[in-house]
Amino acid sequence: MRKLMWFVLGMGFSCVLCAYWLQEGRLPWLALLSVCLGLMLVGFGSGNPVLRRAGAALLGCAAGFAWFYGYNLYYLSTAVSLDSCTQHARFSVTDDPWETDYGIGTECRMTLDGKDYRVCVYLDGEEKIQAGDRIQGEFRFRVTTPEGEAGATYHRGNGIFLLAYQTDQITVERGSDSAWSLIPVRLRRAVADILEQHLAPDTLPFAKALLLGDTSGLDYALDTALKVSGIRHVAAVSGLHVSILVALLTMVTFRKRILLAAAGIPVLVLFAAVAGFTPSVTRACVMSALLLLAQLANREYDGPTALSGACLLMMLVNPLVVTSVGFQLSVGSVAGIYLFSPGIRGWIYSRLRQKKPWEKAAAKWFAGSVSVSLGATLMTTPLTAGYFGMVSLIGVITNLLVLWLIGLVFYGLVGMCLLALLWQPLSALIGAMLNPAIRVVLWIARTLSDFPLAAVYTRSVYIVGWLVLVYGLLAVFLLSRNKRPGLLAGCAAAGLFLALLASWIEPALPGTRMTVLDVGQGQCILLQSQGRTYLVDCGGDTDDGAADVAASALLSQGISRLDGLILTHCDRDHAGAVSNLLSRVKTDLLVLPEEASPLADEAGCTVLYASEVLTLSFGDAEITIYPPLYPGEGNESSLCVLFDSENCDILITGDRDGFGERSLLRNAQIPQVDVLIAGHHGSKNSTCEELLQAVKPKIVCISVGADNPYGHPAPELLQRLAAYGCQVYRTDLNGDLVYRR
């Protein structure tokens, strides 16, 4: 059966190539070439296991190329034909809506050319809808695959290939949610109601995440603490939850194989449906169902084969599932457990002294827990580093401390929901007992996440280099005959020390350093000189995303406290992420425009309102902050910031347009500058000719989001900058902009 594993590896590899790189027209030829080579290797390698495995992998590649080509031709092409089109459409609502920044979103189904499609539909929120309703109206469509004009989105990995945006009035046909297909929705509602009745407000969001995978209630600070401490996976229904559920089913069915399979498989299907058939929970449920069937048939269960079977099934349903981050992390963690955990467990257990029975039991538990966590981490760290820019160093300890308690909480939540149907007082009592247990989990996560070096951030090139070194050493270790784990761990620790040292020293070198962070359509600028660090603005495409970018840039340099945070104005794209950032990085000083802002109450530091010219001096450098001529709440009320050091001048004008820039020149003596931050993200009405003529910038930086709806940077601005001979750098094209002088 291990041949299936090699076949699925080949198929997964080809699906990844198709999803990210290969052109559709080449797929039939690649499939033909792969099948020919595969059959040759299988035929000639009858006595050579290596050739047989390679042949199986090549046949899997052929199957992947052929399946992806057929899937795209028959199914995806219909969805792609709707990209950027606006037309009348009719949808059946299959889930309850969720709130968005501009209204509500909901998952629906629609029929195109006789084929059924899952669609995310975004509405303005004027009409109340629920699962079972039918809606129709004019919608603008966007395809979620790379063939679309706006590029690919994460939805494709979840089997959603179309997004639909309301463009006109819609009509809603009220329906009933009594259909069999909506049972998971009703069950999810009922469970959520029970949790809301019996749990405290501070524990409810985590309980919903743990049991239902609903993370919408987790605030930014808690979500970040879970990530940094390495247990964010418990807040997204995954293999851990399914394994706990199977253990519970095994206990209540008294290990009776027939009863366990008869009850367990339907429960697993229902559980996956309630969780929304996310790739991670689907993978876990399929593997668990195979385990129950193997026990029922009295056959040996082979983990790698079961993992391969689950992946094969999921790729047959949707070959683009390989692009799902959840799928990659889920498969990677299980593969890491199978590959590395046995060896790690044996090595740890052999070095623990055990004489008494309880010592042996404790050593076995400790070795097993650590080995599972380390095995999963070894395979998933490159993924988390690439996708999230962070690697938790304390995750193994956190998992060791809380996973046993997570299991008890999960059992308690399930029991509480079941008892709520029978006797509410007992259900309420269990809820009261669960509140302290959940608080302990959250306290551990928050406490450990606050530890120095709880995590490292790949925004530092030195940390990226360290990771490459560690995995290079791991490859050498696995290939060597004389394996020395202690030497491997020592080299990894020494490399980390050197990488951190370089990450912290390099930004503190003499001179001036400015970093325009890539936060999308927003602004966040880091100014550093003589050991001082100031941040100007913090906002972007999303509040969470901009805060993550700013926090990781600072923490990767060992900066956990700012000397000052200056907000040019309080629009969301300049200040929306400040509250989230301050939950991770504190500041000694907050400078605000005169307009009222709740940030003054949240900062927990000295607050200055720039009603007149302010000067912040440190050594030979100083920051001068210019108030607006006419304070208010518009773009013209932006503060202007002049950073003046011995060898560098930088000017930031916020979102002022030409009128505000000219008023600045009339009321202040602005010198010629080395760097100018283009006003209002490159608007045609900002960075006027008078300003360019006065400050004569050598370099102009534009903080702008890719594919923004405003057309920034405007062609008129780019022409002005070219006429004045400015070197132009843009975050949408160049990413973070780092200037050192």
Is pLDDT at 634 greater than 80 in this prediction? no
pLDDT band at 539 (very low <50, low <70, confident <90, very high): very high
Is pLDDT at 1 greater than 70 in this prediction? no
What pLDDT, on the 0 to 100 scale, is given for residue 598? 76
What pLDDT, on the 0 to 100 scale, is given for residue 67? 96
Is pLDDT at 276 greater than 90 in this prediction? no
DSSP string, 168-193: EEEEEE---S-SGGGHHHHHHHHHHH
For residue 135, the tally of other CB atoms under 10 A from its CB is 23
* CB contact at 8 A, 709 and 738: no
Tens-place pLDDT, residues 124-133? 987 889 999 9
DSSP string, 335-395: HHHHHHHHHHHHHHHHTS---SHHHHHHHHHHHHHHHHHHHHHHHHHHHHHHHHSEEESSH
pLDDT band at 149 (very low <50, low <70, confident <90, very high): confident
Is pLDDT at 460 greater than 60 in this prediction? yes
DSSP category for residue 505: H
Distance, CA of 625 to CA of 617 (rounded, Å): 11
* CB contact at 8 A, 178 and 404: no
Distance, CA of 594 to CA of 291 (rounded, Å): 65
Distance, CA of 222 to CA of 407 (rounded, Å): 20
What pLDDT, on the 0 to 100 scale, is given for residue 596? 62
Provide, rounded to the nearest whole percent, the portion of the chain with pLDDT above 70.
Answer: 99
What pLDDT, on the 0 to 100 scale, is given for residue 510? 83
For residue 490, the tally of other CB atoms under 10 A from its CB is 11
Q: How far is CA 68 from the centre of its chain?
A: 26
Distance, CA of 42 to CA of 479 (rounded, Å): 26
455-463 mean pLDDT: 95
pLDDT band at 486 (very low <50, low <70, confident <90, very high): confident
Provide, rounded to the nearest whole percent, the portion of the chain with pLDDT above 90.
Answer: 74
* CB contact at 8 A, 261 and 290: no
Calculate the average pLDDT of the chain: 92
Is pLDDT at 324 greater than 90 in this prediction? yes
What pLDDT, on the 0 to 100 scale, is given for residue 150? 83
pLDDT band at 287 (very low <50, low <70, confident <90, very high): very high
- Spatial CA neighbour of 172 closest among 131, 127, 141, 138: 127
What pLDDT, on the 0 to 100 scale, is given for residue 133? 93
For residue 171, the one-letter residue type is T
Cα-Cα-Cα-Cα dihedral sign, residues 151, 155, 161, 165? negative
Distance, CA of 413 to CA of 408 (rounded, Å): 9
Contacts of residues 628-636 at CB distance under 8 Å and 24 or more positions apart, as own/partner, are 628/593, 628/656, 628/660, 628/663, 629/660, 629/663, 629/667, 631/593, 631/594, 631/595, 632/595, 633/569, 633/570, 633/595, 635/569, 635/571, 635/660, 635/680, 636/660
Is pLDDT at 715 greater than 90 in this prediction? yes
pLDDT band at 623 (very low <50, low <70, confident <90, very high): very high
Between 471 and 214, name the one with better pLDDT: 471
Beta 561-562 vs 586-587: how paired, if at all?
parallel
Is pLDDT at 183 greater than 70 in this prediction? yes
The tokens 């590029």 sit on which residue?
Answer: 151
For residue 383, the one-letter residue type is L
Mean pLDDT check: name the lowest of 162-176, 576-590, 592-606, 609-623: 592-606
For residue 588, the tally of other CB atoms under 10 A from its CB is 11
Tens-place pLDDT, residues 342-379? 999 988 888 887 677 877 888 888 888 899 999 999 99
625 phi/psi in degrees, rounded to 5: -115, 125
- Spatial CA neighbour of 549 closest among 516, 509, 592: 516
Residue 713, preceding peptide bond in cis (omega within 30° of 0)? yes
DSSP string, 664-684: HHHHS-PPP-SEEEPGGGT-T
Tens-place pLDDT, residues 28-73? 999 999 999 999 888 876 778 888 899 999 999 999 999 999 999 9
The helix (run of H) or strand (run of E) holding residue 317 is helix 303-317
Is pLDDT at 194 greater than 80 in this prediction? yes
